[in-house]
Amino acid sequence: MFGCWRSLSTWPVLDAFSRRALGWELGESLQTSLALTALNRALAERPAPIGIIHHSDQGVQYASEEYVDRLKEFNFQTSMSRKGAPWENGRAESFIKTLKTEEVSMKQYHDIEQARRSIGHFLEEVYNRRRLHSALGYLSPTQFEAKCGDQSDKEAAARQLSL
């Protein structure tokens, strides 16, 4: 059985405004390629507006030349939490806690593909579409985005991705 959370690394890309998980990847290492896959999925889901801020911790994958070059390609402004200051990336930390608590903690996956399917379903169907967030007025991320409607209002409110 493949159930130990510690053997998995989840690379989410979150919209800090709506809390929506835009892109993600799952793997068993800290490879830059996993973080890049998550970023590329997010970029395919939603174009990056001018001036967007990419905030992350100081993980080696986010500081890698390949990852930073991809951010520059899309004119991201970069921001990193200070060393030993996880509260500076509170949205991402809260997201990982939610994912562990509500999806992963009590499950036993047969293999990484089953974990990927199950976590993907949770992120897309539960977290993004049905899970209510107090910070969003008790709406789901997709409901909140629909309510906001005008893309320019959303961009003005927060130009940030959290990782």
Q: Is the pTM above the cut of 0.85?
A: no
Question: What pLDDT is recorded for position 81?
Answer: 67
Which candidate, 100, 111, 152, 139, places its Cα nearest to that of 20?
A: 139
By CB neighbour count within 10 A (0-12 exposed, 13-18 middle, 19+ buried), where does 123 fall?
buried
What is the set of domains in the chain, with CATH numbers?
Answer: 5-162 (3.30.420.10)
pLDDT tens digit string along 17-57? 899 999 999 888 888 898 899 999 999 988 888 888 888 87
With bands split at pLDDT 50, 70 and 90, how would you rate the model's confidence at 130?
very high
Give alpha helix (H) positions in 74-140.
90-99, 112-121
HSE-CB at 99 with a 13 A cutoff on CA atoms is: 28
Angle at 25 between CA 66 and CA 88, to 5 degrees: 75
